[in-house]
């Protein structure tokens, strides 16, 4: 399902390139306004369940026990540190494409979700 916000973006794009309908822009037409309101009621926005975090705090924690000193780190902690740093650098590499909407995620795309 598309969210109301996504549909509003589509309506805005259509309105910018479409002639007026019954003397109004497409986005201001009564049917479109009512439709978007209905979509909002049927599919209300979900609260963001992912807590925000500070990268500096995470990187600081990775420089302390149990992740440092490297000579005495257990393989579990070292594996988690390596995986996290790899994921962070991968996200940084792909962020411009993600922001531009040029990166899609399909069923064949692997996903890594750590067990908590």
pLDDT digits (tens, 9 = 90+) for 20-62: 999 999 999 999 999 999 999 998 887 877 778 888 899 999 9
Coil/strand/helix, residue 43: coil
Q: The whole model's pTM is what?
A: 0.43
Residue 92 lies in a domain: yes
Domain interval for residue 93:
55-99
Q: Which region, left, alpha or beta, applies to residue 101 given φ > 0 means left and ψ of -120 to 50 means alpha?
A: left
Residue 116 lies in a domain: no
97's CB contacts (< 8 A; 6+ apart) are 103
Q: Are residues 61 and 31 in the same domain?
A: no
Residue 10 lies in a domain: yes
Predicted local confidence at residue 45, as pLDDT:
80
Residue 21 lies in a domain: yes
Residue 107 lies in a domain: no
Q: Are residues 38 and 63 in the same domain?
A: no
Q: How far is CA 41 from the centre of its chain?
A: 22
Q: How many domains does the chain have?
A: 2
Residue 110 lies in a domain: no
Q: Are residues 38 and 67 in the same domain?
A: no
Q: Rounded mean pLDDT of 80-90?
A: 90
Q: Are residues 36 and 68 in the same domain?
A: no
Q: Are residues 38 and 61 in the same domain?
A: no
Residue 32 lies in a domain: yes
Residue 17 lies in a domain: yes
Q: Are residues 69 and 34 in the same domain?
A: no
């Amino acid at each position: 399902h598309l969210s109301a916000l996504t549909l509003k973006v589509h309506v805005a794009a259509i309105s910018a390139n479409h002639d007026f309908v019954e003397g109004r822009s497409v986005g201001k037409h009564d049917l479109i306004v009512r439709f978007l309101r209905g979509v909002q009621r049927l599919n209300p926005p979900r609260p963001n369940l992912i807590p925000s975090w500070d990268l500096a705090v995470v990187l600081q924690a990775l420089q302390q026990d149990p992740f440092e000193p490297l000579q005495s780190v257990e393989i579990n902690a070292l594996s988690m540190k390596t995986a996290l740093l790899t994921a962070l650098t991968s996200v940084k590499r792909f962020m411009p494409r993600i922001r531009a909407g040029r990166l899609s995620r399909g069923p064949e795309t692997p996903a890594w979700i750590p067990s908590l």
